Structure 1
């Protein structure tokens, strides 16, 4: 420690001459040299400028680094040391950007505690290895955040008082605690303090004071205080007490300085009770929120992450028996499946069990303690916040406020996030808030929501005010804008409509309504010139631009679709006929003169007829006008008078037909295209006067298609297909057989749609023969003929829609008139 002080003292003496600068305000301080030093376990950074340097320190543990922001200063790369690594510092980087103060980034090999000392034009920053690591603890140390006490002022300061200097300190042990006196050059006028819980620290700031102690670290052998540290801020001297346990403190100014009284809290002060438990869905749909209501503030939540569950303990807290229970929360749809609450010795334990890796966050708002449990985010996802989709992307911090002023809490967040924030005079009050490892933007929303505040972001400045005040201001601005619009002169403009009907465009514009949110103001009007298909618009310039832009979007050529149809009709027919003709005759003499001869035959013709004598004449009929094939024979004997004639006839006919038509039609988007093919059949019908009139009945193949182009280039087709044919003629006119298909399909551009299923098959079998005899088994075939007919008809429709490329719109003719 002595070695470190020696080189700091030497450095200050070297640049003491440069530290003597004018007290007048300077626009910018030029940093001329930056040096890195190593003394034992500590590493130092020394900055030298041509005037006093103001600074801000930010420490981060993951990854370990320290940021030094230098407002109102300028620094060049040439001022940096040749070796950018020393001791704990692995890399020293300068960040400069237009409109932003320069920053020095120190990437560390391990987590370190940073403190600063300023002397004249020199600024020394000391990095010491941290004994404890906890997220956001370093950030909380650099600026007053939780539990500040209001600034206190002496009623009548001395007129001849000089600069305030913190010269030394005196620590005394008492029966119930300790008494620390910060010795100053005069009685301090303004001071404030706050406490940190993890790690436990008490921070005391003396406003407008300079640091005059010989060293900034003083280890102590005290039951309450482990170490006393000092640091120089931009406008204050800071004293940090590293505590060994929880204490209460009180500040009292004295002529010799500021007296800080520390006392151990009594057990009754720590005791609290859970009054209610509730479970809701958190800021994200999959985040579960456990909300505990307490009878007092200041609860210390100890959260542990175990496999598949989150365990939170509240020391020195009592849970009523009626609240010791298990909550089944699977119906909420979060990662939390159940919540168990029970008393464990003098602590209340809350166990949230869920699925998958979990990540908890906790915060306390007044008497409400909230535990949010969500999915754990991987390190790769954390590096890319855009991919996570999380609503809060700010750097995480931990805060513990006890009755802090709302304005001061907002100031802490503004300093942490480097925001330009303006708070309304109406912002006031106090709050108690405990946040553990939450993004700063979420912390800001929590504070605003708890106090009924809102924010208005304009550019890079955030204005905070009560929501009612912001709403009132917005209403006033809206009324002022309306009054301004009422004073704006009107202009007349003629808009030529190219592709749409001017009357339809006028109706669309007027349907948007009048006043705020409509296309027309209360003073505006639109007329239509049907002859030139134009719109005559009289409006303010601002509304006129809106109308013109809307007309340009509406007046566009309707996209067209070409529909290629291929209609295929297939006919297949088959007919078979089989018949038989047979007969015989017998001739003999009687021995009488009359009748001398007897003939028996199956034919009406005489026995001497050239035609065969038939007893059964059932030949096969011809098909399509052609004769059936036949095979005949006669069986007889020369010495016998009996003859038998037999003839078989059969015919088969098979036909195949195919009719193909390929019509094409182009139609506009959402307009029906119709294709018809067939015959109109005339028929007579009586009129009301008794005369006869000729009417026509359609028997056609009809195809109707209505296309709709989707934004992604696909097409929705409403298809109606019908196939009508003549069934039979009646007294009232021809009867029509109808086959119809109606459907809606989604196809891609150029994709072919097939419509089938219009299929008909007719089978018929006819039999002609001699009654009774045709049914005799085996020989019944000699007394009958058969006809078998099969007819098949099938209709196939192939549709291929193609989007026609948009037609070039060309320029718009606009005539303008000032009135």
Structure 2
């Protein structure tokens, strides 16, 4: 063998040796890993004597960690260096007990590989996790063993008290009791009583899901729960509460009785925690602010509309104010406003008038009349037929004249009829008249009869003159009416002529129309500026002042300005109960109690107070703890309008506050039987209230 051949053999042998050596090392490294792997051979659910057990079965000793997650509530079990056998089956008998679902996830991207089990729960039961041989056992039981140091704590508390003084600042170590207070219908109180102050606790929330209520959790660290799990059924916004041991902590679960988690506050006490839960009925109190007016927004400002008011005894609150010099000022005796210093200082003052007072036309918004053809329902058929029988078949109109010059009245009839109107120079005077939904020719005859006038009609021309005068149409060329001779007469009026108005009023009308457009599009500050500019040009327009007040109160929350313009409307129209209500609500919002009471008294002074005035005043009286006065107002509302959902709930709440439990419960029950659509939260509150009382 040559030296070269010998060298090749040696090289080949060395390469084979290295390959075998590398394979041996790799095998030695891989073998321990395969040997250390935890193989999950099965998962089972078994009903044991002390509760439900979930068993994770393995072939070697497991290494694991566990923790809880919310949204949804689940136990997460991470097993290190583990894998699932293909034959490992998730239990099919689910849900069972608190276990709703089990998911297995392999985290192969981690070193070592992790096998994750997620155990989804329907409730929040007490449980323990422990290793038994090669298995991991999750036990769900009613009675849970305590950690040794907490068990020792309980044993010490059961011994006779020692003579050694205990420091008051010693942290709590034992949950003694959970007390529920539902005496206040606006609030449920939960007192978590411990043997000392709670220094370490955490909160968590869980949203509502299918079949599971919204929940709030409080975990109190280093506190023991003696005996079995505490549980209370409450039936208010808090449906149920329970406490269970969690290793060295106690978990308290609050189940919401609402569609969502209830509003709550947590306060520390020297011997525990106070949880205050707001009941939905507290938020259903009739509002004092603009929400009350949003249900009945101010009417559209019609340039031709004259809004009538029901006069009442003129009452002006003591803090009246001066308006522009051009506005007519009506000063009435001031109301004596007693200071609200006691809980029953509000005594509603109603009108003593038995019959409805006839409405009297007030200053028109635009100094003109409202004319419109109305579409009538079948209820007006008989009236229409009676007009036809009488020979009146013209277009129907609604007119409202207030001290209008007769010449302007006849001009308006010319516009309506489309005919030429000629008025004799002997016709003079003014007219105040309101007619609704009648033919215009019938309305014209009424005016003529009232004023001692007569008419002659021919060739699309109506001539109006006094009854003691005569008029004859020309006998020659009757087919041509020569109107040139009348052109220089000031009493000739045609349908194209318009009512003359002051320049300021015309400008104000334009501003009002622009303001209405801005208000409709939600540009409320701009609408306010336009309305205020219009009011400066037209300071005796009470309806405009009322509209500005409503806009400030409802949309802008400007209470002071709302009261200012409401006062302006009241100065122009002392019996304007709508303006009085707005002034009352604005004053109440600003905590001007005496002024609010005076304005509320004015708002209900009409023989038939509005529903809004009565319910708003009742809410104000309740807020001032004048419960009897509030009930008086609700009684008046019931007589005039009947009970609403709001008034029934308010009455029940007030009776509860007065301690008249029997009547309160009867009223709560009436809410459920009323036929109104009762919100689900309110239904649960009422049923819980009735259950708690029984």
TM-score range, shorter chain: under 0.3
Give the TM-score, by structure 1 length: 0.21
Give the TM-score, by structure 2 length: 0.24
- The answer to which structure, 1 or 2, has the higher relative contact order (CA under 8 A, 6+ apart) is 2
| Structure with the larger helix share | 2
| Structure with the larger strand share | 1
